[in-house]
């Protein structure tokens, strides 16, 4: 199994030909790589700019993010929200929250972001509001659980965006609990009359789902 699905040279070209993120986000990437464990968890430019564009063209005003890490994706989406828009982030790593908050405080869009510490499923169970976009990028064993828990909270016509939906190709032949959870989720989405989707081979797979 490779660490990539797309030829690295092709991916570098696509990244180079994609609009640049703001300097603060570039600094966030560099600092994450230098100071944090498992920096590969960071969404990166291609996913970040995709999230930014989807937020902008959908006219979203409210976003739920499951798995924030160091805040790159949250800031990417907040940048595209109106000034009174909101990103609610679920994160269970205190160090990641502290790291991300430092960048939120320096961003003109940081006031749009609220972080909830704790297990995401517990946070979701307490929510009463609805969302225009849900972005899922947390522990893979719970991917299907996150989808089922958030579906009732997504507005009609809203988006559910799922990163790592190919899981380095492991969905083709699931071997463990993570592989199976992601494959089960993908198959549920495809079979659901309530959902329509477009499954992109962007980086490690981006499943774009719309609630009918």
Residue 186 pLDDT class (50, 70, 90 cuts)? very high
Query: pLDDT for 131-167, tens place per residue?
Result: 999 999 999 999 999 999 999 999 999 999 999 999 9
Secondary element (H or E) of residue 159: strand 154-163
Domains of the chain: 8-211 (3.40.50.150)
Residue 5 is predicted with a pLDDT of 75
Neighbours of 199 (CB within 10 A): 16
H or E segment and range at residue 199: strand 195-200
Residue 210: CB partners within 8 Å, gap ≥ 6? 157, 158, 159, 160, 195, 196, 197
For 105-130, the pLDDT digits (tens) are 999 999 999 999 999 999 999 999 99
SS3 131: strand
Please, which pLDDT band fits residue 2 given cuts at 50, 70 and 90? very low
Coil, strand, or helix at residue 116? strand
Of the pLDDT bands very low, low, confident and very high (cuts 50, 70, 90), residue 4 is low
């Amino acid at each position: 199994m490779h660490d990539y699905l797309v030829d690295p040279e092709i991916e570098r070209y696509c990244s180079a030909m994609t609009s640049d993120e703001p300097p603060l986000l570039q600094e966030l990437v560099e600092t994450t790589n230098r100071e944090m464990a498992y920096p590969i968890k960071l969404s990166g430019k291609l996913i970040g700019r995709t999230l930014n564009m989807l937020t902008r063209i959908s006219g979203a005003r409210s976003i739920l993010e499951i798995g924030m890490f160091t805040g790159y994706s949250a800031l990417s989406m907040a940048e595209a929200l109106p000034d009174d828009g909101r990103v609610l982030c679920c994160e269970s790593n205190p160090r990641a929250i502290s790291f991300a908050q430092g960048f939120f405080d320096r961003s003109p869009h940081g006031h749009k972001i609220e972080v909830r510490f704790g297990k995401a499923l517990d946070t979701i169970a307490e929510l009463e509001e609805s969302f225009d976009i849900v972005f899922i990028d947390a522990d893979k064993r719970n991917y299907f659980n996150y989808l089922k828990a958030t579906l009732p909270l997504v507005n009609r016509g809203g988006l559910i965006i799922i990163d790592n939906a190919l899981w380095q190709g492991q969905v083709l032949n699931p071997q463990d609990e993570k592989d199976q959870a992601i494959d089960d989720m993908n198959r549920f989405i495809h079979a659901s009359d309530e959902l329509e989707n477009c499954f992109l081979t962007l980086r490690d797979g981006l499943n774009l789902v719309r609630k009918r």
